[in-house]
Amino acid sequence: MGYCKPPRHSRFKKGQSGNPRGRPAGSKNFKTLVTQALNQYIVITEDGRHRKITKREAVANGIVNRSATADFRAVKILLDILPDIEGQTEPLSPETAAYTDADEKVIERLRERFSKKDTP
């Protein structure tokens, strides 16, 4: 209520949106469009046989094959995405993670600080 604020029950007509020129219903964002494009199937010929694979697989195979032929741009792309891929497949558990001496010192200080707060 007040200036430029009509009562909530009469702000919009029935069936009318508050933002009529906004994003149309059902439109997709860029991430969705790229994901759909990468999941489309294509037919490739490999060793004289036709195979049906996704575009995502074709891109991955292409990068790996080009990096194997000493294409340095492909090697750089592969090395840039490799840590992300390996990090997702093998999560580090606290038992297998290797701590440096500096990490151990920080952990010990935190333990001392928190143990002092627990004791009255």
Query: What is the model's pLDDT at position 89?
Result: 54
Query: What is the model's pLDDT at position 93?
Result: 60
Query: How far is CA 43 from its chain centroid?
Result: 27
pLDDT tens digit sequence for 29-84: 999 999 999 999 999 998 999 999 999 999 999 999 999 998 899 999 999 998 88
Query: What is the model's pLDDT at position 56?
Result: 95
Query: What is the model's pLDDT at position 91?
Result: 53
Domain residue ranges in the chain: 38-91
Residue 85 to residue 1: CA distance in whole angstroms: 54
pLDDT tens digit sequence for 75-116: 999 999 988 888 765 555 655 567 788 888 888 888 888 777
Q: Please state, in angstroms and as integers, the Cα–Cα distance from residue 57 to each residue in 30, 60, 77, 89, following that order.
A: 20, 5, 16, 17
Which of these, 81, 78, 49, lies nearest to 65 by C-alpha position?
78
The secondary structure of 68-115, three-state, reads HCCCHHHHHHHHHHHHHHHHHHCCCCCCCCCCCHHHHHHHHHHHHHHH
Residue 1 to residue 8: CA distance in whole angstroms: 8
Report which secondary-structure segment, H or E, holds 49: strand 49-54
